[in-house]
Amino acid sequence: MAEGAVGASEPESSDSLRTFGAVLQALREHAELSREQFGELVRYSKHTVASVELGRRMPDEAFVERAEEALGNTGALRRAAGCLARQPGLAAWFRRWTRLEQVAITLYTYECRMIPGLLQTEEYARQLFIDELPPLSDEQIEAQWTARAERQRLLRERPTPRSASSSRSTCFCAAPGVLRSHGSSSTTC
């Protein structure tokens, strides 16, 4: 009966997701439906309904259409869905680390597969984003780089935290030319 998750992964919450969720919740409550009752009407679990209402999940097209039908076909949800945007940048699971970076006096990291994000040049980071599977769009790559560059600002704008980073040599296998700016002339593995 219920169709699992709305999206493959939960997006970073944005103002538009939270606003859409608040409108959905207001319409549902105006119709005097519980989350469970509404979930049955739209064929999603009450947990998925709650996640959309709280701005934690991006509603897919089927969810929006079924919600419109269940709540009177006002067109409000369809129009609002056209304005939804995920907040680009850092994954939700990584936010705790970035909060620690902002206040840290000393950072210790170990990377076995790549140069740590705070130390990556733009060319190196973009190559990682380009090589990602499934492939990212140009807009996603730009959003990822913008988030990375924002984190790197920490190293330039405040008293620099002492940082120790250890990387395995396998981190230095990359596309030709990318590692030169990291001080390495080796580009083959």
What number of other Cβ atoms are within 10 A of residue 1's Cβ?
Answer: 7
Q: Report d(CA 38, CA 29) in Å as an integer.
A: 10
Instruction: Give the pairing type, strands 162-167 and 106-111.
Output: parallel
Contact between residue 54 and residue 91 where contact means Cβ atoms under 8 Å apart: no
Contacts of 34 (CB under 8 A, 6+ apart): 46
Tell whether the model's pLDDT for residue 83 goes beyond 80: yes
DSSP conformation letters of 65-110? HHHHHHTT--SHHHHHHTT--PPPSS-GGGHHHHHHHHH-SEEEEE
pLDDT of residue 94: 72
DSSP state of 7: S
pLDDT of residue 103: 79
Q: Per residue in 45-59, pLDDT tens?
A: 999 999 999 988 889
Tell whether the model's pLDDT for residue 12 goes beyond 60: no
Tell whether the model's pLDDT for residue 42 goes beyond 80: yes
Compute the half-sphere exposure of residue 180: CA atoms within 13 Å on the CB side of its CA: 4
Tell whether the model's pLDDT for residue 67 goes beyond 90: yes
Domains present along the chain, CATH in parentheses: 15-81 (1.10.260.40), 92-182 (no CATH)
Rounded to the nearest 5°, which phi and psi values hold at 110? -135, 130
Write out the two tokens for 162.
């002492």
Q: Per residue in 89-147, pLDDT tens?
A: 666 667 677 777 777 777 777 777 788 888 889 999 999 999 988 888 898 899 889 88
pLDDT of residue 188: 44
Evaluate if pTM is beyond 0.95: no
CA nearest neighbour of 24 among 61, 57, 62, 64: 64
Write out the two tokens for 21.
């969720």
Higher pLDDT, 87 or 29: 29
Q: Output the furthest CA–CA distance in the chain (Å, rounded).
A: 67
Crossing angle for the helix pair 15-30 and 46-53, to the nearest 10 degrees: 120
Higher pLDDT, 123 or 12: 123
Q: Per residue in 142-162, pLDDT tens?
A: 988 988 888 888 777 766 556
DSSP state of 135: P
Mean pLDDT over the full length of the chain: 78
